[in-house]
Chain A
Amino acid sequence: MTIEPRHREPSGHDPDLADVRAAQRDRAAFGTLYRRYVDRVYGYCFYLLGDHHDAEDVTERTFLSALAAVNRFRDDGATFRAWLFRIAHNELANTLRTRARHRTSSLDAVAEQPIDADPARLVGLADEGRRLRASLEMLPEDRRQVVVLRFVDGLSAREIGIVLGRSEGSVRVLQHRALRQLAELIGT
């Protein structure tokens, strides 16, 4: 039995393209794209920021920027959702930079922990989901981004490459390293 790769439509095919064209003609039609992606953009922000309010702020800025720039979107290989998550990624990076300057967030504490800071504490956590989420926070930033975009938002390696400005191959390598690290942390 073989597996068909997901999200690898023939080149040039973007399932959102018709709605994007409609939004480019009449910006009021952007609502369709907003409703389709608001939860996923929010999920990406939430899992990386760990705070509802910050995630809402970044989600809001992402969609306002996307609406302002929708006429500049071109169907030149990147899907609309990769383009949208790229905007979210940039907004997220700004928020993380601000946090790093002010050193006020809970994620700062997580980021300051060494990668394998306290495996005994992890093993002691009864719930596997909690253990995994705690392990996820111990991953380096780039691996965590790949995991969230892949497992929460369902983007393909190619789309994640567009979002993060990396090659498809390097995204797969990051995913491989992240899964190896997580498997070691949770002891699967």
Chain B
Amino acid sequence: MIFILLTAVFFVMRILPGDPVQMHFEKMATPAAVSAMQAQLGMDKPLWLQYVNYLAGLFRGDLGKSMQDYSPVGQQIFSAFPATLELAICSMLVAVLIGIFLGVESSKAYNKPKDHVIRVFGIISYAIPVFFLGMLLQMVFGVWLHWLPTGGRAAPGMEPTGLAIGGLHFQTGLYTVDSLLEGNLVKFVDSVKYLLLPSLALGLVLCGIFIRLTRSNMFETMRLDFVTAAKARGLKETTVTYRYALRNAFLPVLTMMGLQFALLLGGAVLTETTFSWPGLGRYLVDRINFRDYTAIQGAVVVFGIFVSLVSLAVDLLYAYLDPRIRL
């Protein structure tokens, strides 16, 4: 699957007009300089050879050199990736938590005004462009209230350094985790502050599907015998809802988390641009402007691998949570 996409991107980007070498020199290049640079990038070779070379590199884990600044794409992506991962995890958490909570509330108040309000909220959340919501949040919490920063990942000088024991240095690239490893609470609070608005924007946009799913599943689960039995034993309403019924209603939600992940990464590109979040999406958008083929391909490959890994993880988790499924 990733292979097909990669091949398509490779050829489509090269066949259609627009040349990274021209972009690099901003149309002031001498023909000699152009051909020298083309040679350096391997662009003077025939197309099929470029393709074979690229694939060979890929299997060694080498994503090639950037056509913009000659540095290895793999490294650039590697340093941008944790930011996207952090954003993705947090916004998925926001989406699922809000979605499940509102979904449960909605199913409890089935067909009452509260239910309708929540459903309408869910439908509206589909229709909001994530960058618009992001800008509104920036406006309210950043510009008006001055509570939260509007962009970036950390205040200057507040980038966490991670765990250092003697000469060993351990760093995840996730600022929240790194600051905890460093044992610096001030930095932790700082990174959470920066993380809050982007994850809220992205999470709120995605929560609609979880509301709907939880609502319909909970409504059905709550009518099953074992729930009635639990209620009859005199367990608290909350316990029955969250510990008994939700366990069953959670499985479809998990599947949906896997399916929504691609959508989330797409949204992350826009969110990262809105909040100047230095992740993979922003890297992709930046490089696209320079027609940096290798960088774009690299980012596409990494996005593809990321999506497949997550769906694999969801399948495994599913088998673990549902005893009826065995691998």
**A and B together in one complex:** no
